[in-house]
């Protein structure tokens, strides 16, 4: 049995803990609020501000874990380098966690050091700098906080009147104490994918079948697997993904996002952990779901192959307002639907657009992915989060 310190305890962390429990691992779940989803299934939990470096040091010293696994961005990740020197294993690695928790680090690595194709971009630390960056990039363009998740603080600028609003919104959605934003030219793309990539301790890098997804307000709403894409573009995405994950180092699953347009594949973002769009794998679309793959890579267990077992889709269940006691109605509609399933995350509170659950649907290989995705969306829309 290994002791795992999980830094972040959302719905992705919850599924990871469930996978870890099945293989007899011991997990301490950490987050900034009590009763977070992963805490509900972990052996122990801690409530703390992970941006407090001294408190984070004390936490690691207290639990002395074999593995430190970040699940969110709001962590003092620069401390991870010291933890590695002390003999702790940071997943995927201290460099990977530190670079990918900040869009500036990972974008500069991808574009400048590795030469990957990306959207043109600038940085800004104030509304005035944002205005200058927009004039250089052109409109429309996308503004994102350097530290955020699930699309928080992200918006599109189409006119000069949008600039101040975009700056204010970016600061509201930023995680941590970084006020800087990245400004990207708007890429004309035909579709976007997540390529779940698994790096192993002693094995080759593996790729899951590509996952297509749609976003709203910068956050994923539906995903499906496999995404239909040209083989030449898939190979390019795999090569780019292998290149960046090798440079960052370490083991585990990575959610690597790409835009695909008429002029090729653009690297977009990278998460060094299970990805929200990868919740489609909870429909057993693969021989191992993304959480099981992450755990096995972390523990150094060999993964011989990743195989597509059936097609599938996921659609999120969203809250529409604030509540300290959210409940659900019409779950029976999902439960009674064939080739469907659902997860309720167990979040103790709700707010507008907060993900509270997910519906997954599936069919045999060779089925219609578009139809499976449509079913997932329709079923998720029937579930109401009561406030």
**SS3 category, 205:** coil
Q: Which of 162, 276, 290, 363 is catalytic?
A: 276
355 tagged catalytic: yes
Residues 6+ apart with CB under 8 A from 314: 222, 223, 224, 277, 279, 280, 282, 283, 358, 359, 360, 361, 376
Active-site pick, 149, 155, 223, 268: 149
State how far the Cα of 359 lies from the Cα of 131, in Å rounded to an integer.
41
Catalytic residue among 122, 343, 355, 375: 355
377 Cβ contact partners less than 8 Å away, ≥ 6 residues apart: 222, 315
Q: Is 324 a catalytic residue?
A: no
Task: Determine how many CB atoms are found less than 10 A away from the CB of residue 113.
Answer: 10
Catalytic residue among 269, 309, 378, 384: 269
Give the pair of three-digit tokens for residue 342. Answer: 């659902």
Q: Is 79 a catalytic residue?
A: no
Strand, helix or coil for residue 51: coil
Strands 141-145 vs 44-47: parallel, antiparallel or unpaired: unpaired
Nearest to 330, CA basis, from 279, 381, 387:
381
Rounded CA-CA distance 319/301 in Å is 38
The closest of 263, 222, 298 to 69, measured between CA atoms, is 298
Does 277 participate in catalysis according to the annotation?
A: yes
Q: Which helix (H) or strand (E) holds 378?
A: helix 369-382
Pick the catalytic residue: 268, 277, 281, 373? 277
Q: What is the DSSP letter of 323?
A: B
Distance CA 221, CA 355 (A): 9
Query: Which residue among the candidates 15, 71, 222, 257 is catalytic per the annotation?
Result: 257
Cross-strand bridge partners of residue 264: 261
Question: Residue 346 and residue 283: Cα distance in Å, rounded?
Answer: 19
Q: Is 276 a catalytic residue?
A: yes
Q: Is 185 a catalytic residue?
A: no
Q: How far apart are CA 93 and CA 90, in angstroms?
A: 5
Q: Which residues of 8-18 are buried (b: 16+ CB within 10 A; e: fewer)?
A: bbbbbbbbbbb
What is the rounded distance in angstroms from the CA atom of residue 246 to the CA atom of residue 140? 33
Is-catalytic flag, 84? no
Residues taking part in catalysis: 149, 151, 257, 269, 276-277, 355
């Amino acid at each position: 049995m290994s002791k795992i310190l999980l830094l972040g305890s959302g719905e992705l962390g919850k599924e990871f803990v469930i996978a870890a429990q099945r293989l007899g691992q011991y997990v301490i779940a950490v987050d900034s609020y009590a009763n977070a989803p992963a805490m509900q299934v972990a052996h122990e939990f801690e409530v703390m501000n992970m941006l407090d470096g001294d408190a984070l040091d004390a936490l690691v010293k207290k639990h002395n874990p074999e593995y430190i696994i970040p699940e969110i961005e709001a962590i003092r990740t620069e401390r991870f380098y010291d933890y590695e020197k002390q003999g702790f294993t940071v997943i995927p690695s201290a460099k990977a966690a530190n670079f990918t928790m900040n869009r500036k680090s990972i974008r500069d690595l991808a574009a400048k050091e590795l030469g990957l194709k990306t959207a043109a971009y600038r940085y800004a630390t104030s509304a005035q700098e944002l205005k200058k960056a927009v004039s250089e990039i052109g409109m429309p363009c996308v503004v994102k906080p350097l530290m955020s998740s699930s699309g928080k603080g992200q918006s599109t600028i189409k006119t000069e009147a949008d600039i101040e609003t975009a700056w204010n919104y970016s600061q509201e959605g930023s995680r941590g104490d970084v006020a800087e934003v990245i400004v990207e030219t708007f890429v004309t793309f035909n579709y976007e994918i997540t390529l779940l990539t698994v790096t192993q301790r002693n094995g080759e890098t593996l790729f899951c079948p590509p996952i297509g997804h749609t976003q709203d307000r910068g956050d994923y709403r539906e995903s499906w697997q496999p995404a239909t894409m040209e083989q030449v573009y898939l190979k390019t995405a795999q090569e780019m993904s292998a290149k960046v994950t090798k440079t960052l180092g370490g083991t585990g699953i990575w959610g690597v996002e790409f835009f695909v347009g008429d002029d090729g594949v653009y690297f977009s973002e990278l998460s060094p952990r299970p990805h929200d769009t990868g919740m489609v794998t909870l429909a057993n679309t693969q021989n191992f779901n993304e959480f099981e793959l992450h755990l096995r890579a972390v523990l150094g267990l060999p993964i011989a192959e990743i195989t597509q077992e059936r097609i599938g889709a996921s659609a999120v269940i969203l809250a529409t307002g604030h509540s300290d006691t959210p409940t659900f109605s019409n779950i029976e509609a999902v439960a009674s639907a064939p080739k469907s399933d659902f997860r309720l995350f167990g979040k103790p509170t709700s707010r507008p657009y907060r993900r509270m659950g997910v519906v997954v649907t599936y069919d045999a290989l060779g089925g219609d992915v578009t139809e499976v995705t449509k079913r997932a969306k329709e079923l998720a829309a029937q579930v109401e989060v009561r406030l």
